[in-house]
Amino acid sequence: MSRIDEKSRIFGHRVIWVIVFNLIALVVIVSRLYYLQVYDSAKYRVMSDENRISTRFLVPPRGVIYDRNGEIIAKNEQNFQALLIAEQAPNIHDTLTNFGNIIDLTDDEQQRIEKNIKQKQRFIPIKLKDGLPWNDVSKILLNAPDLPGIEIDEGLSRYYPYADLYAHVLGYVGPVADKDKKDSPLYLVPGFKIGKSGLEKSFDYRLQGTGGTVKLEVNAYGRVMKEIERKGGKEGDSLTITIDSRLQKAAYEAFGDNSGAAVVLNVNTGEILALVSTPSFDPNLFTNGISYKHWNALLNNERTPLINKAVSGQYSPGSTFKIVVALAALEAGAINVNTKYNCLGAMDVGTTKFHCWKHSGHGNLNVIEALKHSCDIFFYETALKVGIDKIQSMAERLGLGQVLHVGLDNEKGGLIPSQSWKKSRYGTAWTRGDSANSGIGQGYVLVTPLQLATMLARIVNGGYAIKPTFIKPTDKQLNKIKRLDISRRHIEIVKQGMFEVVNGLGGTAGKARFNINGAQMGGKTGTTQVRRISMQERRRGITREEKLPWRLRNHALFIGFTPIDNPRYAVAVIVEHGSSGSGVAAPIASKILQKALLLDIK
Amino acid sequence: MYYRMDFLGRGSGLRDKFWRMSFTYIGLIILLALIGTITLYSAANGSWNPWALKHISRFVLAFALMLIMAVVDMRYYYKYAYWFYFISLLLLFAVEIGGHVGMGAQRWINLGLFKIQPSELMKIGMVLFLARYFNAITMQGIRSVRGIIIPAAMVLLPVVMIVLEPDLGTGLMVLFTSAIMFFVAGVQWWKFVAVGGAGGALLPIVWNFLHEYQRNRVLTFLDPERDPLGAGYHIIQSKIAFGSGGIFGKGFLHGTQTHLNFLPEKHTDFIFTMFSEEFGMLGSLSIIFINMMIIALGYLFAFRTRNYFAKLVILGLNTNYFLYVFINIAMVMGVLPVVGIPLPLISYGGTVMFSIMVSFGIILCMSVSQNSNISIED
């Protein structure tokens, strides 16, 4: 055997081992292949779909809001956005410069855009300007050849055609903030807007609708390749509220430049026919995020346009509270229609001297005359006689001292004091002086305009415990309204007093009287001190309210109803620092009620 | 010394030689290249550019080169075996000194018209060198330590240089191919055990010499979840592509992992993944089967030839080819670390295409020259 043959023989043996090794490798590879492509295939299929399919939510159109006559007061408008897609612009800088020549960009916007260009991937659209008016859109489209990479995106955005008129009723919508609850996946969709205040907030779920979904195929860089599946959502439900836009407008305009609030109720159903708080603001500014400039202007305005004074403003009711005191005393039997007190202009309660607003005194008068002239002495005496706890009980039955839940945020409950309240709040005993102060609606007593309107409505409708509401009550709900246990005779006495205030000779609101087809107004004035005029000011000659700075002047109040027989409408008006209930608040209330009568709101 | 110098092996006749080639072997090679072309067509989202057209054109050129390599007189390979080795070694030195920096590693020499990769040449050079050496030495020599110390050094020198380039995958391939040649030449089992043991003991030291990215590759191989967005991303996405392909695949041009760019390097190292996603396990098994046939035919040629030098050359080049296929498929399935070894004839890339076709040419040459005898023994 040659050397070559021996080597070949060994080669032959050894190659068998090499082939065995190859076969082992083959088994490893094939079993691994089986494991991946058959055994674990389902798992990897899911992972592959997770890679490529991106589910996005489609924002449903928000429900439209109507007033009681079917007028649209909140709707969705086409909104035009200018977007920049960086990768489609050969030169981003040129495109932006050309855009800036057509559309003004603020410094803030420019900074935001530059930041976005740096941060975002080149195929993700960057918002240049939101809420473009149509003429700007057409300008952009006309100049399209100079604006490579710029696209106009058409979407929906909330629009309030009445602007500031409904700001405090409807509130506004805005982008979801970090602190908002996110219980629907819609909340995570960029550009999704939710109700941030007002009825937009309290009816948010109903107005939102349900979101659709769209499944998109995306590549590894997140670029959308194609649409795989689309499931439509459901538009938000519409909402009809009880306000009459014409009356709302009249009420708003009646205030002129004054800062204040008014609430108009249908006394028999509790429907809120108008609710205004002035000054107001344009909720459309909030839809796409309000600018700092506007926000600061609203925040720093001393007349607090952002606060809904109709439900959040708590004021001393002043003399308007005398109606409650009178009714409590009559019901308790502490006085009757013939009970008279002699007003000498002042009286001693304990060691303190309590004055009537009329320092010369009113002389002898009964409850009707006392309401007509708003005599303070009569109500000091009456409050002392009936006691605070009975007054508190009557006030609460009439809707004061509690949150009425009409669906507006930050609705306040006001405050109706009692003996036990003072004890637990201050740890001191209730004094006769406290009772006297409460008798004329000063001291601890605090109410909101909404509560005052409710109180008046519950009295003049004959004692039915209506609840103020923005949603028209059904007949079934109306039938369920309970009658408060208040004698109709006593109600008539108080109504008589309120008639005299406006229509009687020498009544405090005589100037506000009207007669529309026999319908007249009854009511009660109120003026509450914000601060006493000090001795130094008196020495400097400031004895008249008008000479004080605005924010130190008295608040002016008026509550009124019409017609006298079978009343239909009740209004509560407060004019902050308006100085005089009879001079400022009553004429506003008068205008509003006349408008309600003329409109004949059913 | 007597050489019958006849460049084209006129003695057996050029035409004869051609007809004696295994057409099955050639057919399988063409089939793989065609599979590579359509896969590259899909990798470019259904376009002949930039890869598919170039791939098939290169294959045509490389095919011609293969035929030339196949009809050359076998004795030239024997004669120039050492030269081939030393020139490859010199070029390796050249890249070490002034090679063109490509892929973060020095692997190329730019000759203007084309670039050559000396480590690819070395794969062939090493096989020729060892074949000639073991052909020349006696059985006693092979079984002695002195007889294998020189070839062992000649193996380690280029391997270390290739690893330092750094190209760990190719280095290990050359080392492993050489080890197989030592083995089939008849070096005793215990010597492999001894060297393997010593190598194992040296592993911690070698670890220290590895580049950071090479260590990461090994660590990521051991635990892909270690860095799911970084180094492990490739292998995770590759496994997802395999798994989601299932038995029948997602269909030609419909592989989502690849077409949506989740799978990296889909036209080079991960092309098998791409093919498997679109054609499923049936497709993967087809490619494996074709390669198995090519390798099996290689063994058949090695058995059939009576020439010892030819046996060793065929075995060496066949092992080299086997390693390409096995390492590539194993690494994209997460069985081996990702070491950057492409799948021959299917992956895009000129160098491997030409070097593998040259290998096939030499294998064919050795197989058709089965009756010729290298009569000279030094």
A170: domain CATH number? Answer: 3.90.1310.10
Confidence at residue B199, expressed as pLDDT on a 0 to 100 scale: 85
Asked whether the beta carbons of A172 and A286 are under 8 A apart, the reply is yes
In a domain, B332, yes or no: yes
Question: Of B184, B241, B335, which is closest to A32 when you measure between CB atoms?
Answer: B335
In a domain, B23, yes or no: yes
In a domain, B96, yes or no: yes
Residues from chain A that touch B280, judged by Cβ atoms under 8 A, are 37
Buried b (16+ CB within 10 A) or exposed e, B66-101: bbebbbbbbbbbbbebeebbeebbebbeebeeebee
* Average pLDDT over every residue of A544-567: 84
pLDDT digits (tens, 9 = 90+) for A205-226: 899 888 888 888 888 877 778 8
**How far apart, in Å, are the Cα atoms of A88 and each of A118, A126, B255?**
15, 12, 28
Q: Which residues of A are catalytic?
A: 319
Question: Of A11, A18, A45, which is closest to B246 when you measure between CB atoms?
Answer: A45
In a domain, B310, yes or no: yes
Backbone angles phi, psi at B245, to 5 degrees: -65, -30
Confidence at residue B4, expressed as pLDDT on a 0 to 100 scale: 45
Structural domains counted in chain A: 2
- Chain B residue with the nearest C-alpha to that of A18: B180
Asked whether the beta carbons of A391 and A438 are under 8 A apart, the reply is yes
**How far apart, in Å, are the Cα atoms of B136 and each of A66, B12, B132, B142, B151?**
103, 25, 6, 10, 12
Q: Which amino acid is at B80?
A: Y
pLDDT digits (tens, 9 = 90+) for A367-422: 999 999 999 999 999 999 999 999 999 999 999 999 999 999 899 999 999 999 99
Residue A12, chain B, CB below 8 Å: the answer is yes
pLDDT digits (tens, 9 = 90+) for A486-512: 999 999 999 999 999 999 888 888 888
Placement of tokens 């603020």 in the chain: A106
Question: Of A14, A48, A51, which is closest to B183 when you measure between CB atoms?
Answer: A14
Confidence at residue B212, expressed as pLDDT on a 0 to 100 scale: 80
In a domain, B9, yes or no: no
Mutate to test the interface with A, among B235, B248, B256 (most CBs of A within 10 A): B256
Same structural domain for residues A79 and A200?
A: yes
For residues A472 and A459, what is the distance between their CA atoms, to the nearest angstrom? Answer: 21
Residues from chain B that touch A41, judged by Cβ atoms under 8 A, are 243-247
For residues B288 and B276, what is the distance between their CA atoms, to the nearest angstrom? Answer: 11
Mutate to test the interface with A, among B244, B276, B313 (most CBs of A within 10 A): B244
Q: Is pLDDT above 50 for B150?
A: yes
Same structural domain for residues A139 and A270?
A: no
- DSSP, residue by residue, A208-255: H-B-EEEEEEE-TT--EEEEEEEE--BPPPPEE-S--HHHHHHHHHHT
- Chain A residue with the nearest C-alpha to that of B255: A48
In a domain, A491, yes or no: yes
Q: Domain end: A240, A263, A296, which one? A: A240
Asked whether the beta carbons of A372 and A505 are under 8 A apart, the reply is no
Confidence at residue B210, expressed as pLDDT on a 0 to 100 scale: 76
* Average pLDDT over every residue of B162-186: 89
pLDDT digits (tens, 9 = 90+) for A11-25: 999 999 999 999 999
Same structural domain for residues A226 and A124?
A: yes
Same structural domain for residues A212 and A320?
A: no
Same structural domain for residues A98 and A122?
A: yes
Residue A52, chain B, CB below 8 Å: the answer is yes
In a domain, A292, yes or no: no
Same structural domain for residues A198 and A256?
A: no
Q: Is pLDDT above 80 for B176?
A: yes
Confidence at residue B112, expressed as pLDDT on a 0 to 100 scale: 59
Same structural domain for residues A158 and A271?
A: no
Q: What ipTM describes this predicted complex?
A: 0.91
In a domain, B377, yes or no: no
Q: B186, A14: Cβ pair inside 8 Å?
A: yes
In a domain, A388, yes or no: yes
Residue A305: asked if its preceding bond is cis (omega within 30°), the reply is no
pLDDT digits (tens, 9 = 90+) for A244-271: 999 999 999 999 999 999 999 999 999 9
Residue A33, chain B, CB below 8 Å: the answer is yes
Kindly report the nearest CA distance between residue A217 and chain B, in angstroms.
Answer: 9
Question: Of B241, B260, B308, which is closest to A4 when you measure between CB atoms?
Answer: B308
Strands A341-343, A346-349: parallel, antiparallel or unpaired by DSSP?
unpaired
Residues from chain B that touch A19, judged by Cβ atoms under 8 A, are 299
CATH of the domain at A577: 3.40.710.10
Question: Of B262, B302, B334, which is closest to A15 when you measure between CB atoms?
Answer: B302
In a domain, B152, yes or no: yes
Placement of tokens 């064919």 in the chain: B364
Q: B288, A22: Cβ pair inside 8 Å?
A: no
Angle between helices B168-185 and B118-136 (to 10 degrees): 10
Same structural domain for residues A571 and A452?
A: yes
Same structural domain for residues A230 and A308?
A: no
In a domain, A575, yes or no: yes
Residues from chain A that touch B257, judged by Cβ atoms under 8 A, are 48, 51-52
Same structural domain for residues A345 and A399?
A: yes
Same structural domain for residues A202 and A249?
A: no
- Rg of the Cα atoms in chain B: 21
Same structural domain for residues A227 and A150?
A: yes
Residue B24 belongs to domain spanning: 14-368
In a domain, A16, yes or no: no
In a domain, A21, yes or no: no
Cα angle for residues A508, A512, A513 (degrees, 5° grid): 100
Residues from chain A that touch B242, judged by Cβ atoms under 8 A, are 33, 36-37, 44
pTM of the model: 0.66
Structural domains counted in chain B: 1
In a domain, A136, yes or no: yes
For residues A310 and A315, what is the distance between their CA atoms, to the nearest angstrom? Answer: 10
Residue A463 belongs to domain spanning: 245-280+304-599
In a domain, A370, yes or no: yes
Residue A29, chain B, CB below 8 Å: the answer is yes
For residues B201 and B193, what is the distance between their CA atoms, to the nearest angstrom? Answer: 12
Q: B243, A48: Cβ pair inside 8 Å?
A: yes
